[in-house]
Every structure is written in structure tokens, then in C-alpha cells.
Amino acid sequence: MSLCLLAAGKLTTLAISAFTLGWTHSVERTEWQEDWRVTPAGLEIVAARVRGSGAGMEPGSDARLVDGWWVYAPRVPPLRELVLGASGATAPWSLCTDGDCMTLGANADGVLRLRPCD
């Protein structure tokens, strides 16, 4: 599988089957990470981690504290597309796979769209 990223009118194809999406909450300034798989059914979230709670970012009810992170497994169906906002006014997103990371949304790119490539 491959992941398609549409940002600022440009389509980029990444030959990956899993990735970690990370960001810092704009109000609480708390780190958040989500592990995703790219599947024929869509993007499947595998796990999420957050370094705190507040302002609409409470960890799941099954969360457990591991090395300073609240870790849990969200129970949501696969998504056909993941839409991220990029105003340029908040910290950017990071998309990491196999130890390599790229920055997304550092500029006012508007909307970023992630989806499995057809």
C-alpha cells in the first residue's frame, strides 16, 4: 500500500504501509501521537499517545500511563481520508515512518489530506 498526501494542490505518494502522526496541542502545548496503518479498507488507527489531558484532549477510557504517555487504542472504523488543518499559526504536524520524519503544515497550506492511494 501507499499513502497519498495532498497539500497546497500538490499530490505526493509515499510508499509506506504504516506511519505515526504527531503534533503539539495548540492550547495545552501537550504532545500527541497516533499510529496508523494504510489498508485497502482505509486508514486504520492502531494506537494513540498523549502526554497529558485538558481542552478536549482526554485520553481514552482504557488509557494506561507508560513512560509519561497516556497510551490507548481508539476504537474507530477505518477512514477513507484523514483531513488535517494547517494554518501556519500552530505547531506543524510530523509524519514519521521507519525513523524518518517529515514536517507537514508548517506554512498556511490550508487543508492537508491523507488517504490510501488507489
Classify the C-alpha dihedral 83-89-90-93 as positive or negative: positive
The residue type found at 36 is W
pLDDT exceeding 70 applies to what percent of the chain? 83
pLDDT in tens, 75-111: 999 999 999 886 665 668 899 999 899 988 777 667 8
Question: Model-level pTM?
Answer: 0.87
d(CA 76, CA 85): 20
Bridge partner list, 64: 71
Q: Output the CA angle 21-19-64, nearest 5 degrees.
A: 65
Domains of the chain, residue spans: 3-116
* CA 30, chain centre distance (Å): 14
